Amino acid sequence: MLDGSGQQLHGRLLGHADLEEARAFVPEWLRLSGRVRASLPVIWTRLLGQSGFNADVIEDLRRPAGSRIVGLGMAIALDERWRALMTDAPPPYAPALIYEALLDGTFQPPGDKELARLNGLGEVSFLVLHYEQTLKDLDNPDTLEQLHVGMSLFKQAHAGYRLQHLYQEGLDDQGAYLQSMGFRARTDRATQGLPDLYGLSREEAMRLLPGTPVRDAFQFTPPRMGFSPSERRMLRLSVTQLTDEQVGDELGISAHGIKKLWRSVHQRAMDTMPQLFDDAGTSDGGTRGPERRRTLLQYLRQHPEEMRPYLAPSDMAGKPARARRTVAG
């Protein structure tokens, strides 16, 4: 395999049909309790589709259905308490603690409206819960291919937010890998046999040259189109090349509902950026549907901010805090 086996790798969002298969990609070193491990599909089901939860799989399309996953990464947006904790006194095995709190109902990632507010203020922080892939040997070209896709998915998952911090824990030699991605060590617990926390702040990222996945995830441009939460959920799935039928199955929406969302998306995009579709027109001045969709999806892949909740600071001015949390989306 040292010359590469010709994997056919594809990255996409985690779906409901993946949950049982995905359990094998939660690393043992996290020290999850048996209760939490048994409940992971339940926890993930609650989180799927939420803006504050990123979950991506790497699949090898050569493999039979049901055993295609070769990599899995998950990250979660932090609330105010956890943001302060990770800055001031980060506990070891933070992902395990968050999983316990998710199961008990004592923690939830910020909802769409709150995340929109945090995004506008530049106070969004994500913690990578875990990343695992089938191959580990860095002398194997297949391992490097999986890592390359994993790094690309990492950037796609977090880009488009005005991030304040990104965090990830690593044990032993994982630290060197995380630092090569652009993370910086935040703790020194290796001598105790505990995972160290690695992180990067927006201020640190802006002092680095572009090129590493973590640094590049901090690039931010305010969105222009203002898609609704349901439109954004559909678009996040559609940019991974899922069919309308697959998107509808994942969201629990009928074919008619998906068509209605696409009409709304296209109209919003054309009203905001009509010049985007100049090359997708017909001779009578109209726009072909398939070409228009391809044009829009290509733009969204390059501008992930359009698929993130966002409330501009100017829209918060003069509104009481409680009211501000209700205006996004």
Domain ranges of the chain: 9-216, 229-307
Enter the DSSP assignment of 78: -
For residue 5, the model assigns a pLDDT of: 67
Across 271-295, average pLDDT? 74
Strand-pair partners of 163: 124
Q: Say yes or no to pLDDT of 283 above 50.
A: no
Choose between 165 and 66: higher pLDDT: 165
Provide CB contacts within 8 A for 125, sequence distance 6+.
77, 78, 82, 83, 86, 163, 164, 165, 166, 167
Across 218-240, average pLDDT? 94
CATH superfamily of 9-216: Gcn5-related N-acetyltransferase (GNAT) (3.40.630.30)
pLDDT (tens digit per residue) in 36-58 = 999 999 999 999 989 999 999 99
Across 112-116, average pLDDT? 96
Across 187-192, average pLDDT? 94
Q: Please answer whether residues 141 and 148 qualify as being in contact, where contact means their C-beta atoms are separated by less than 8 angstroms.
A: no
Instruction: Give the separation between CA 65 and CA 160, rounded to whole angstroms.
Output: 32
For residue 164, the model assigns a pLDDT of: 98
Token digits of residue 179: 């630092």
Amino acid at 294: R
Instruction: Give the separation between CA 162 and CA 311, rounded to whole angstroms.
Output: 11
Enter the DSSP assignment of 227: -
Q: Please answer whether residues 75 and 127 qualify as being in contact, where contact means their C-beta atoms are separated by less than 8 angstroms.
A: yes
Alpha helices, H only, the chain: 19-22, 34-47, 80-88, 94-104, 112-121, 141-158, 174-181, 202-206, 213-216, 229-238, 244-251, 255-272, 289-302, 313-316, 321-324
